[in-house]
Amino acid sequence: MSPFRSLDPATEECFARYDEHPEPEVTARLERAARGFAAWRETSFVERAAVLRRAGELLRAERDGHARRMVREMGKPIAQAEAEAEIEKCAVGCDFYAESAEALLAPRSLESDADRSGVRHDPLGAVLAVMPWNFPYWQVFRFAAPALMAGNVGLLKHAENVPGCAEAIESLLARAGAPEGTFQNLLVARERVAALIAHPAVRAVTLTGSERAGADVAARAGAALKKSVLELGGSDPFVVLDDADPAAAARQACVSRTLNSGQSCIAAKRFVVMEPVADAFVEALRAELAALRVGPGLDRSVDVGPLARADLRDALESQVERSLAAGARLVLGGKRPEGVGFFFPPTLLDRVTPDQAAGCEETFGPVAAVLRAGSVEEAVALANDTDYGLGASVWSGDAERAEALVPRLEAGSVFVNGVVKSDPRLPFGGIGRSGYGRELGAEGLREFTNLKTVWIRERL
């Protein structure tokens, strides 16, 4: 049976199946990528930008269809699939790189013993992108927009539960004017990724996904001496200092923890709260979470949809149960509802410690874990007591006081009085078990380029 099925997580109904690409088709697509790169690298920035701008226009014009496809395949609330968090963000990313890539990749002069010397950025070739299901459009476009503008071509191996999204993105870019071989979808099972990485047509690989998948891809890419970028999991701390407004912080905590039904690498997951405001914060967060409506993502009144798969719901429930058994206190939620669908209610755990599941594992769903700190030093120590290092946020009535903690927080991004998010204008990525390399911003644009040194003497 083909692994590519579209299964509605709200109803558990399989509504579409897709045939896996056989080896001859995969080989043909890899060969098209090699030919496509030879042509695409010679195009001007103006030509590339026209494709990206048209892609942005199509995303906006066809927003409703793309949003419904996402909701049917992975369950997110439809408002978040449309303008709030995904389709519009993809269009903005296309616009940003269409506008800025040429300047960001412009050759730079540097002093040396040459008459003229400097650096330039040349494309690498076909970049294989192994992408996840949780943001099935945005994760792809945040790779594709900079990669294509840099002159590379893209090969997409998407998650097996969002094949409809993968095919729709390939079609959209083709209709936007991307020439043959510039961006192609590969419907292959995860067991075939190793062979793709080893193929001579593939020059680099990027993955967003689990630690296990990241470690495997990194090992394969390293063995083939190919560049890789990894964006893996996170257990982001949300640090509330004793001078913060607990009610205001709780409102933002609720937003961060439940966006995309809690299925986000950069969602706040560990809420490190100083004792003087902890009781007020917990009560305010309980009220915010309790007010959320859980249901099918196509219902516009819903705030939290189902989790994307049954195994994800089961794993989250296990983490809650193990944390409670180890001494955490249940404030809200904690048990799956009866009936069909992979639903799990907004859940709040208090007095979590770093040795409990919710305090040390990544919880991928609407579960908030509160860890209490007696001092700023303890708050920083708790925030850093993780193998992950994707993002962190600090909340305070004194922005300068919070900013002073930025160098001490071990994460790829630190936000003061704001929830961690990705922005096409800013580099994004993590440290530790959250991966390496950067996406977005100038740094992400340059990741898959050859930083080439040029040294010129005018005369022999």
CB 388 within 8 A of CB 354: no
Catalytic residue, chosen from 73, 231, 410, 447, is: 231
* Model confidence at 83: pLDDT above 80: no
Tell me: the pLDDT tens digits for 184-227?
Answer: 999 999 999 999 999 999 999 999 999 999 999 999 999 999 99
- For 171, the token pair is 């079609």
Average pLDDT over residues 281-286: 98
At the top level of CATH, the class of 236-387+391-416 is: alpha beta
Amino acid identity at 142: R
Tell me: the pLDDT tens digits for 357-373?
Answer: 999 999 999 999 999 99
Say if strands 202-208 and 126-130 run parallel, antiparallel, or are unpaired: parallel
CB 233 within 8 A of CB 269: no
Tell me what percent of the residues of the chain surpass a pLDDT of 90.
Answer: 98
Closest CA to 143 of 452, 451, 450, 447: 447
**pLDDT range class, residue 85, cuts 50, 70, 90:** confident
Which residue in this structure is represented by tokens 């409670």? 324
Average pLDDT, the chain: 97
Strand order in the sheet with 153-157: 183-185, 153-157, 126-130, 202-208, 227-231, 435-436
**pLDDT range class, residue 1, cuts 50, 70, 90:** very low
Average pLDDT over residues 118-129: 98
* Model confidence at 276: pLDDT above 90: yes
Helix, strand, coil share of the chain (percent; to 5): 45, 20, 35
Tell me: the pLDDT tens digits for 388-443?
Answer: 999 999 999 999 999 999 999 999 999 999 999 999 999 999 999 999 999 999 99
At the top level of CATH, the class of 4-233+432-456 is: alpha beta
102 is catalytic: no
Amino acid identity at 439: E
231 is catalytic: yes
Average pLDDT over residues 132-146: 98
DSSP category for residue 304: B
**pLDDT range class, residue 84, cuts 50, 70, 90:** low
Cα(237)–Cα(410) distance, integer angstroms: 10
Distant-in-sequence, close-in-space partners of 239: CB < 8 Å, separation ≥ 6: 272, 273, 379, 380, 383, 392, 393, 394, 395, 405, 409
DSSP category for residue 393: E
Catalytic residue, chosen from 94, 254, 265, 360, is: 265
Q: Where are the domains of the chain?
A: 4-233+432-456, 236-387+391-416
pLDDT score for 82: 87
Tell me: the pLDDT tens digits for 22-63?
Answer: 999 999 999 999 999 999 999 999 999 999 999 999 999 999
Cα(115)–Cα(122) distance, integer angstroms: 22
Distant-in-sequence, close-in-space partners of 7: CB < 8 Å, separation ≥ 6: 13, 14, 15, 73, 161, 309
